[in-house]
Every structure is written in structure tokens, then in C-alpha cells.
Amino acid sequence: MKNIPNLITVMRLLLVPVVVGLIAAQAWGLAFLAFAVAGVSDGLDGYIARRFDMRSELGAYLDALADKALLMSMFVALAVAHIVPAWVAILVVSRDLMIVGAVIVSWVLDKPVQIRPLWISKLNTAAQIAFAGTALGAMAFSSLQGVWFDPMLYAVVALTLASTAAYLAQWLRHMGS
């Protein structure tokens, strides 16, 4: 029973190539549905883990991995499908790779860093999820042309840059101490 949240998270990880494949096939409705299922599963695994005290260290790592894998893959797939500019996907992926790289460097230099999401990072993740879901929904149910697209896209860019800067500043302070 204690593994139920982890199994849900693993299912979300397995949905990543499904969503990417559906985007590649331009099966927008199914891609939107798979992305929505992934989103619901993210909330469900967390709820079950908290409500029934099934939290685990493995679950925390798997959840973060599933979230990052889904979002990075989404932005790359949306760029390949020419829905978002390639530079936006590069920015989103580079931010996450920079964070992972900083953690690895910290471990190598025997100064492990505590991994805690910052409020700006949570806001950034929410904006990325909202944008990706809205873009998929627009492709599935109408067209991508809408007054919402550019403002949401640039909000994602701004939050990604702000989150990157916040993590970099925190890491540099940690490494300098």
C-alpha cells in the first residue's frame, strides 16, 4: 500500500514518451488528454502521500523527476512541432540542466546543497504547466492563434529567467560559504 503514490508517479513518467509521441503525430486531442491525465496524477499522488502518510524520500525524488521530464519534454516537443520558438525550449531545458549541474558540482566539491523549491520556482512551474496545457488544448480544440499566446509565453520566459537567477544566486552564496 505504501507504494501507491510512487506507482502513480511512475505512471506519470511513462506518460512522458506517450505525450511526446502524440505531439509528434499531431494527435492534439490525445496529447492534451494524456497531459491532463499526467497533471491529475501529479495532484493525486501528492494527495494520497500526504493524506495517508505514505510520503517517502524515493517518492519526493520520483515526483520531481516526473515533473521535470514532462515539462522539458513538452517544451522540446512543442518547439519541434513549431508551436513555441526553439529558444524558449532551450531556455526551459537549460534552466533545469543548470540546476542539476549545480547540484552535481556541489556534491563533487563535498558541499552538498539542500534541494528546496523556491517560491519563484513553484510559480515558474505552474506557469509552464498552464502554458503547455493551454497550448495543447488550443491545438486540440481550435487553433493556436489567440491573444493569450504571447503574454503567456513571455510570462513563462520571464519566470524561467527569474527562477534561474534565484537558484544561481542561492547556489553561489552556498558555494562561497
**139-172 pLDDT tens trace:** 999 876 789 999 999 999 999 999 999 999 999 9
Farthest CA pair distance, the chain: 53
Confirm if 84 and 78 have CB atoms less than 8 A apart.
yes
Residue 1: predicted pLDDT? 61
Q: Is 141 exposed, middle or buried (0-12, 13-18, 19+ CB in 10 A)?
A: exposed
- Measure the CA–CA gap between 34 and 12, rounded to whole angstroms: 9
Computed over every residue of the chain, the mean pLDDT equals: 94
State residue 142's pLDDT score: 82
pLDDT at 177: 80
Residues 6+ apart with CB under 8 A from 149: 135, 138
The CATH number that domain 4-176 falls under is: 1.20.120.1760
